[in-house]
Amino acid sequence: MKVLVLGASGFIGSAVTHAFVRAGHIVWGQTRSQETADTQFSPCEIIPVVCDPTTEDGRVIWTNIAKQIDVVVDCLAAGGADQALGIFNAFLEAVKGRPEGSPRPTYVYCSGHYVMARGYGGLDEWSDERQPAEAPINKGTIWRTKIEGAVVGEQSINGIVVRPACVYGSSGSYFGDYHFKPALDALEAGKTEFESIISDNGKILTIHKDDAADLFVRVAEAAPACRGEVFLSANPSTDNIRDILDAIVRITGLKGWKAKKPADAYETAWITPLLARPSLGQALTGWQPKRMAVSDGMDVYWVRSSAGAC
């Protein structure tokens, strides 16, 4: 297949782009940075597309490529419903001139699992991708349902949504910002403890970036069977921030950690438990996450995060 990944330099986007290349596809990667294109894309068999996809000039550049390819994946940093819908509508415009009877082009939108978050509790709080996305806890993320609904409801294409849980591996993404960096800062300052955000129960739904990327490739390859569906990209069991912080203490030699309250809506969202188990990815594509949980594999995840991205 010919694939264009928007946000190909990002934490999820880079894993997704490399996974499509490894799977044998012809892959374009979009970035706003010529340096990223030269140093991270060209040497890795990714065809660079340098533009800002949110501007009119940039739209012309990436949609010219989208006209001739099979799959577009939106892995851009979240910028709200209007930005996501603008990108999606530009894609629809680009592909609408294809000859009648052509195969449907595919659009995969990278969403987030917070649209499903119901908080901690019993089985009544459990969810999966077959449940409505009502986000009673994280109202700040409910805008996602506008773009999700547009993508899965569009009949002229294969529209697919993937909702990654809290993503780990490599530079750690928010695990790096929220949990690893405070420990590193404490070590550097000669302190014996570090502070971290955590909810009362500590539960968190997670997925390794490479397992997440594998699901993107599988649903795109099987797009005619996956169209109109939402896929949760998560490990089958929850992880626990307590175990993650204890593992950091074991590895660093720090004496312990202290809980601190979230400072903003993003931190609140991060620690809000989502009790969910994915099932559609396996049922339709045979997808199965392979990597160890964050706390179980901390020895390698910690080394990677403190050394920089791979």
3-class secondary structure, 33: coil
Q: Given the rule CB under 6 A, which residues bind ligand NAP?
A: 7, 9-13, 31-33, 36, 52, 54, 75-79, 110, 112, 164, 166-167, 173-174
CB of 36 to ligand NAP, least distance (A): 5
CB of 300 to ligand NAP, least distance (A): 18
Instruction: Indicate the length of the chain as a whole number.
Output: 310
For ligand NAP, the closer of residues 181 and 191 by Cβ is: 181
For ligand NAP, the closer of residues 98 and 140 by Cβ is: 140
- The alpha carbon of residue 238 and the mean position of all alpha carbons in its chain are separated, in whole angstroms, by 17
For ligand NAP, the closer of residues 127 and 173 by Cβ is: 173
For ligand NAP, the closer of residues 14 and 158 by Cβ is: 14
- The string of DSSP letters for 226-248 reads HTT-EEEE--SS-EEHHHHHHHH
Gap between the Cα atoms of 164 and 219, Å rounded:
13
CB of 115 to ligand NAP, least distance (A): 10
Which residue of the chain is nearest ligand NAP when measured via CB? 10
Is the Cβ–Cβ distance between 117 and 145 less than 8 Å? no
For ligand NAP, the closer of residues 45 and 97 by Cβ is: 45
Who contacts 18 (Cβ-Cβ below 8 Å, separation ≥6)?
44, 46, 213
Gap between the Cα atoms of 188 and 146, Å rounded:
44
CB of 168 to ligand NAP, least distance (A): 8
Residue 26 token pair: 């012809």
What beta strand segments (E) does 183-280 contain? Answer: 193-197, 203-204, 206-208, 230-233, 239-240, 256-260
CB of 91 to ligand NAP, least distance (A): 15
